[in-house]
Amino acid sequence: MELRTEHGIEIPSDVYGNNIAFACPCCGFPVLATSNAPKNIARGASPDKPVPCRRCMTKYWIETDQSCFVLHRG
């Protein structure tokens, strides 16, 4: 599955199991998020548990759509 922003722009990513690695769209630093795991423990799987970029501290969470993963900022 591919990773897209909430506006439909494709983001280069590497998906393995329930882990998704991608370059931060703001600064390019690598970010690792977890999807399809229990929402209370997964980093980046819900708005309540966003995963931060370690360089610019922008927070992301990933939603699973039927055809792709959708990356949200906030």
Q: What is the pTM of this model?
A: 0.85
Residue 46 φ/ψ region, left for φ over 0, alpha for ψ in the -120 to 50 degree band, beta for the rest: beta
Amino acid symbol at 42: A
d(Cα 58, Cα 53) in Å, to the nearest integer?
5
User: Around Cβ 60, how many Cβ atoms within 10 Å?
Assistant: 22
Q: Which pLDDT value is given to residue 31?
A: 96
Q: Per-residue pLDDT tens for 8-67?
A: 999 999 988 888 999 999 999 999 998 766 656 678 888 888 999 999 999 999 988 778
Q: Which pLDDT value is given to residue 74?
A: 83
b/e 1-37 (16+ beta carbons within 10 angstroms → b): eebbeeeeeeeebeeeeebbebebbeeeeebebbbeb
Q: Which pLDDT value is given to residue 64?
A: 83
Q: Which pLDDT value is given to residue 39?
A: 58
